Amino acid sequence: MTQEKFIGELEQMLLLCVLQLKADAYGTQIRSFLAEKAKRDLSIGALYTTLERLEQKGLLSGRLGEATAERGGRAKKYYSVTGEGRLALQRSKAALEQLWQGLALLQAPLFSQGGFAE
Amino acid sequence: MKWSPPSLPPGPLPPEMQPPLISQLVLEWVLPEALQEPVLGDLQEEFIQRQQHNRQRACWWYRRQAFTTCWHFLHQTKGEWLMFIFSMLFFIGISVWAMLVSAPDNPLAFYDFISLVLIFPPALLFAVGATSRQTLQRAIAFLFDPRPGAEPQDYQQIRHFFQLMGHSGLLLGGFSTLIGVIAIAQQTNADNFSSTIGPATAVCLLTLLYGAALKTLCYIAAEKVRFVADASAAHSDMQG
């Protein structure tokens, strides 16, 4: 159990973006997709720091693609989720589902004096 | 909705459509080599899209992105360089502080332009003369980017350059101090001894102080070169 790789919220979101974008998953597309679907405006620096970390963990794999004129002749880096990445996502989803079981956050009163009301 | 790349006329991008040059250069300097292509490409792609609406805003956006990207990668790629520069600045700062504390009434007591000219330019010229202009260029490049990966011979030459400059600085300091001592000895007599000996000796010792400071800084730079050369050799051995 201790050998399992756990992922943070942003890492999870990026892995899901890459899965959703399929063969078109490179920096600009991932950033734009994340902003549109999750309302999260990530800077390019933060995006690539996280993508690099996921690549180092073996959850993502990257390859350089074609260079285009609008990119100043620079290549795109396409990402894809590895088998290990899919497993990490499944594990994360299962853990969250377990933790959410029996909770109905919207119906619960927010605060009573001294803490959460039961 | 997916991101659609902007349409462009064929051929190279006209200068008025280029992203801010300084930000690009800083990014190239800070980013790891493997990420330069994708990050700079992504930034340019989005910049061109944005500048179709408003170029000024697009430039600000690019600069902000460049700043945050540098912030994320600076420690990773330039951490050792930052520590190296910090140690140098710390030494200079502490020295200036000590000087100000020792002479609170006269903050410029440790500054003498002629002494500076006697030490720094000749030491640099001696080092360039004894090595080459290319070695000077490599040494300056090393100061801005002390990364492993160069040829062992290059490191040897850069280290030799710093050692030469440090030794020259110290020797020039001693030499100039001797000139000062001789001048003092010639011009001091019973009438002016008590009023001139103190200030004159202080000024003549300044060259030795500057020489010693240059020697210290060059020693640290030379040791940094040795450290990076060793790391580079160890990395090559592991790959070989």
Q: How far is B45 from chain A (nearest CA, A)?
A: 5
Domain limits at A55? 9-100
B240 vs B237: CA distance, rounded Å? 5
pLDDT of B157 reads: 93
A3 lies in some domain? no
A105 lies in some domain? no
Chain A environment of B38 (Cβ under 8 Å) = 26-27, 48, 64, 74-77
A13 lies in some domain? yes
What is this model's ipTM? 0.80
DSSP secondary structure, A84-117, as one string: HHHHHHHHHHHHHHHHHTT--TTTS-S-BTTB--
Q: A8-44 in b/e burial notation, b at 16+ Cβ within 10 A?
A: eebbbbbbbbbeebeeebbbbbbbbbbeeeeeeebbb
A51 lies in some domain? yes
Decide: A78 and A65 in contact? Cβ < 8 Å: yes
pTM recorded for the entire structure: 0.68
Tell me whether residues B10 and A69 touch, CB distance under 8 A. Answer: yes
pLDDT of B17 reads: 78
A62 lies in some domain? yes
Per-residue pLDDT reduced to its tens digit, B15-57: 777 899 999 999 999 999 889 999 999 999 999 989 888 999 9
pLDDT of B3 reads: 58
Residue A24 maps to which CATH number? 1.10.10.10
Q: How many structural domains does chain A have?
A: 1
For residue A118, pLDDT over 60 is answered with: no
Alpha-helical (H) ranges within A1-75 are 9-21, 27-38, 44-57
Chain A environment of B7 (Cβ under 8 Å) = 70
pLDDT averages per 10-residue partition of chain B, 240 residues: 58 75 93 92 91 91 94 87 88 89 83 92 95 93 83 92 96 94 88 84 90 94 91 79
> How sure is the predictor about A117, in pLDDT bands with cuts at 50, 70 and 90?
very low
B178 vs B181: CA distance, rounded Å? 5
For residue A24, pLDDT over 80 is answered with: yes
